[in-house]
Chain A
């Protein structure tokens, strides 16, 4: 086990050196709270581009040029996610998923360091010194009521002591106050345990860090497993931790983060929060939600502020890739011929699941699909294709549906299964209808073969040698 530090700026340098097209800079001042950061990202997306973007002069919430540059769209391309985990960009499809799944099974214990060894302690502000308005906090979509920090709060289970990290949105409510949205998952359980005892819940928001840290927080380890250990394993090195300002050694924080916000969730307090542009690409409604009273902010001297473009590939890809290997491994136990599993961007990397199998027996497709639905409750529609179809290529999957599906034979629906409250199509707050589309060929009868240009013929006439691009006609001709 090594304890090399995780440093966001090393990652930025590596991307700039290795894939210069994957990073763009915005030098002019922009106002993140007036949608100007997401306006740039949306224009890039509309042009089919998904680079990481660094804004060098974003305004803070006081309207001044912030001391913190802003980085966003880091995860909008699987190649950068592969790079973040130390894999070659050529392995950004299913090999990345498999490697994530392998690392997620292991644990690497964190390393405790002193404040003097911790870049995140370069600048320490506590109590009245804290003013969140110094940050270039982003307002993402037109119906968001305020700027939101949309990174990862960390909480600690009061019973086991295990740390839990999760992406949760926090709404700017004042210089030392945030609103906090949680769904009934791990962070919610931890908060409820504190509230049941009449206690405030300590929370630490890691605003910016190396992307491997954030990919690590997306692990699907059971409640009670320590996320600092899982993050270390996913990142491939021991996470360095340092005591917090607010609770000392009782709550450790990542020493190599760029910016950390410490605070408490007071028990029993709820305020209106939202609406918020959410992962399906639609707004979640205004709700009654928790608040965070901020107690301290610490950061590197030249810290970079980080944001995720929620409801876009920057958000979706992170949500999908950590689940693919888990589904694959579960299917493999029952359908050994499974080739790959992919949660495509077209299904917001959550609602759709493509599974490729080298089917040997009719019925295996449905078996594989049911395992996927059972393993990840967010999945609503499963498409099973043959091994000659790339599940990472939507056009190929749709081709298989077009040519290998008879709806009355190939489609099954399962009513009243658990869904996701943010799916706008659900007519019930909790339950949804799942669908399995078996787009595989039958095994037991002849079926038209896919057309094919022979590989040896392609090898005889390589495109680079045989194709001449048409030159523009000379003037006057």
Chain B
């Protein structure tokens, strides 16, 4: 599904290297988790995959199902099936959440040559999905993320993901800021989308999310590289001992 090879990335504006050769292979239907200290390059990896401005790829490659992601515009990557749940979802004043969603869904359908959803079809689907994430009609009407609580923003990301039905979902700290119940909801939302084909890359600091979303593989990132890869037990190790041992091990 997602194949990242020796990805090296620096900032466009200043002479600073952030990713120092990331390697990552996620197969169809797999769930991978990335953990790692603050500032290690996890969000940067997700931004570069999604095509955010401001970064220079100096080496390496990133492919989604064999297609070169790095050559595409952000919207082409989205239409190809890449979704990023943002660590900090963006507010868009004046634009109804529902309008935003429908515009996005139809833009992607159009890009893929599919028929656009009518207002009625769309409404039916969105209501159903919103309900399972306990997002009420009021929140759907409000402008995108404006005045949403931290947890509401994260649930809204998952709603967008559910509506867009991507192939490859990258979730950047979707668990931070969630209360216990909300975390369960989000995890259920994610699990409901696991169908053996769709793949996930879950960026998190905490084992507790991985209790609900069981990863197949866990990676540790530090200083812009994946320094260790293992099974779910690796996350438990981090939870108990922090990163010191692992960092020392590879040093």
A and B co-occur in one complex = no
